[in-house]
Structure formats: structure tokens, C-alpha cells
Amino acid sequence: MPISRRDFSIGAFVGLAAAGSIAGATDTTISRAGRSVDELVGDEDFWRPVQDAFPVDRSYANFNNGSTHPCSAAVIEKICAMYKDINGGKKGPPLQLVEHRKALESVRTQVAEWLGCEQEGLALTPNTTTGLMAAQFGVRLSPGDEILTTNQDYLEMIAAFQQRSQREGVAFRMFDFPTPGPDAQTFIDLCEQQITAKTKVLLLCHVYADTGYVPPVKEVCAMARSKGVITMVDGAHAPGNLDFTVSDLGCDIYASSFHKWTGGPLGSGFLYVKPDLIEQIYPLFPVHPMFGDPGGARKFEKMGTRPLSHIALPPALELHRALGKDLVAARLRYLRDMWARPLSASRLVEFTTNFDKERSSALGSFVVRGRDLTDIKLELQDRFNVIVGYPIGWDWPYGIRVTAGIHTTPEEVAALNDGLRSILSAA
């Protein structure tokens, strides 16, 4: 059943779209004009031009934005121009690439300002994986040292440490924590109990991918620091979802992907390394001394010749700046509650998300007692044109994950609710 596009009023921004020039529109045409989060969070007239900035196929409702979020028309336009430049632009690809490398410095300034961290600690990497793994493999460890993480951390980051452990004889240990995630003090205590004299590195997520649990990262980092443990934060799901700054977290290392909640181009992410640690961490791909020190965390960016997707990131940051981190975070929770509240009425549903305000974010997940979750996912897709995330986890499925984005319309949430109601009533 296709989802009909809502009939919205013609505003200045939509007028640009109708005139065929939406790709040239900057997202700064959206402004809060001094209005508060409470005034705007549910004001659908305000959100229509935001939704319309994303030229997505509305014949299906996408609730898997936590994997990769679509880009706005302004970002897509920049991506196309970027690829055209480096594959045959007027100066020829090599010179265009040099220009893009120079232009990255202005992007770095904008990213540092938006994330709230020192510019010299920022490496613009293609994604969370390349950023975090550079630190995971680059941090100096000796046989007998121990690396600690949880069994709800991302499987590939776990695999990276498992490989390091096999190759170098460093110890690697995971500990469990309950689902839905616990209160702040329980989580801090659990981490503290797990740290031993041998522990040198602690990896945790800022937002757990399967359940949306937000651990008390700032407090855990402070506790770990007091014990001389380096903290690595997998922030894949935080920027563009939570209202925070990286420096406030006080972690040593942080990595994320802009192609998730930020709506940046596919292949844009970052690694942050506290400036006083940069020297101690080897890059995955070393820079020849002949080229000199690239400066700060730039040494982690060397990965051979490739498109520099970050060139197309600024319009995504502009849109987030225009909306404000506080409003984006509130709107995403508002959309989450639009499907989670009605679902909580079902006896068959068990949430794997802790919905406490401090411990949750835009992600929500649930299991349906007595039902195969993959069947439900496929039924939503095939019968209702609704896409949700795959239920995967380390030991067991953490649930069907639902992730709306800032482009999501209330009509799309209604389509999800209709689909779930129909499936659950037949269960």
C-alpha cells in the first residue's frame, strides 16, 4: 500500500522546489526564528520544509535511518559536483584532488565547531569503522595488557580487538549488561568492577546500536581516567541524534559516521583523539617522513587516493546548525514516541529500550513474544512498504530496531503503526 504524500502548504522553500531549483537551495532557508524547542517539536508546518529538503522515495516509509540516513538535495548536489571534479573536472583529477584536500581544512573547522572539540584532534575519516579501528590497532599495548568492552558493542569493533588479541597476546574481555540498559550508577559500578590493574583500554558505545541505550559516558570516562585507562567511544549513533559536545564527554578517543543521523554524504565520518594522545597512537597507514608531519590527527587520514566525501558535508551541518542540536534531539524522540507509545499497549510487545530521558535517544527496539522478528520485519516491508532495521545482537536478537530521521513524516509513522497493529492483531 503506497503512502500518500501529505498535502502541504506552499511556503518559500517549497516554492524553490516547485521552480525546479531545490538542488541549489541551501538548507539555511530553514530557521527557528527564535522559537523554542517546545514550540517547534510538534509543529508540522515547521517540519515540512525540513522533510522536503530530502528528495527521498516516499512510496515506502524508511525507519532504518540509523544504518545510513538519506542526504538533503543540497548535499546530493555537492556530492555530484565533487565526483565530477575529481573524475575529469576542468583542471584534471590530480589538481582537483589537491583542491579538495585544501578545502577539507575549512570542513575540519566547521566539524570541530559543530562537535565541540579541538580541531587538531580531528581526523576526517570515511566512517566510524576506519576511524575507530585506526585507534584500536594503533594504541600501544604490551602482552599482558587487557582491553575491555561490553558484549553489546559493535561486532566489528569486537572483531578488531579479538584479532589484536590473537596476533599480539594482549588480553581481551567483554562483560555483559542487562537489556533494557540499567540506570547510570549501575552501569558505572559495573564498568568499575570490571577494570583490573591490567586494563589499559575501555571501549563503549555512546548510543548502543541495537537498543538505543545511552550509557553515562562522561562519568565512565572520568572513572576510567582516574584508573589510567584509555577510553574509546564508539559514537556511530550520537552526532545528529543527541545534544552533546565531544569535549564535554572527556573521552580519549571518539569516532562516528556523518552518513548516519547527520545526513552527511556516504563515506564521511571522523576520529577524534585527545591532542596529548595523538603522538602515542600509530596510524593504520603511515605517512612517509619525506612528507613531513601532516599536523595533529591528520596522520590518521592517510588512506591512499580516494574521493573526499567530506567536501559535500557542509550543507548537512548547516541544516543541523539551523535546527539546533536540542531541537533535533527532541524531534527524533517525539517521532519515536509516536510509534512506541501505541505499541506499549500490546501485551505481546517487550521493549529492549530503556526510555528514561537520560538513557535513551532516537532509537527504539522491541521483541514480540512468540513471533520470529525477521518474519515481522519482512511482513512490514512486503505488505506495508515499511522498512525497519534487522534484529541482530551478539547473543540474541535485541529486537526490531526502529529509527526515524528528521525527514520522517507523521504519515510515515502512521503507516508503521498501521502495519504493526495489523501484524500484532493476527499474532
Which chain residues interact with ligand PLP by CB under 6 A?
A: 67, 127-129, 154, 205, 209, 234, 236-237, 257
Residue 265 or residue 314: which is nearer to ligand PLP going by CB?
265
CB of 26 to ligand PLP, least distance (A): 26
Cβ contact 37:331 at 8 Å: no
Question: Which of 184-188's residues contact partners 24+ apart within 8 Å by CB, and which partners?
Answer: 184/215, 184/216, 184/219, 184/358, 184/359, 187/215, 187/216, 187/220, 188/216, 188/219, 188/220, 188/223
Strands (E), 86-137: 122-123
Residue 238 or residue 413: which is nearer to ligand PLP going by CB?
238
Distance between CA atoms of residues 368 and 348, nearest Å: 5
Residue 128 or residue 409: which is nearer to ligand PLP going by CB?
128
Residue 209 or residue 423: which is nearer to ligand PLP going by CB?
209
Distance between CA atoms of residues 41 and 32, nearest Å: 11
Question: Cβ-count burial of 94 within 10 angstroms (0-12 exposed, 13-18 middle, 19+ buried)?
Answer: exposed
Distance between CA atoms of residues 403 and 363, nearest Å: 5
CB of 131 to ligand PLP, least distance (A): 8
CB of 208 to ligand PLP, least distance (A): 7
Residue whose grid cell is 524553490: 16
Residue 161 or residue 384: which is nearer to ligand PLP going by CB?
161
Distance between CA atoms of residues 184 and 84, nearest Å: 49
Cell numbers standing for residue 163: 584479532
CB of 341 to ligand PLP, least distance (A): 25
CB of 346 to ligand PLP, least distance (A): 27
CB of 333 to ligand PLP, least distance (A): 19
Residue 85 or residue 234: which is nearer to ligand PLP going by CB?
234
The angle formed by the CA atoms of residues 79, 85 and 91, to the nearest 5 degrees, is 165
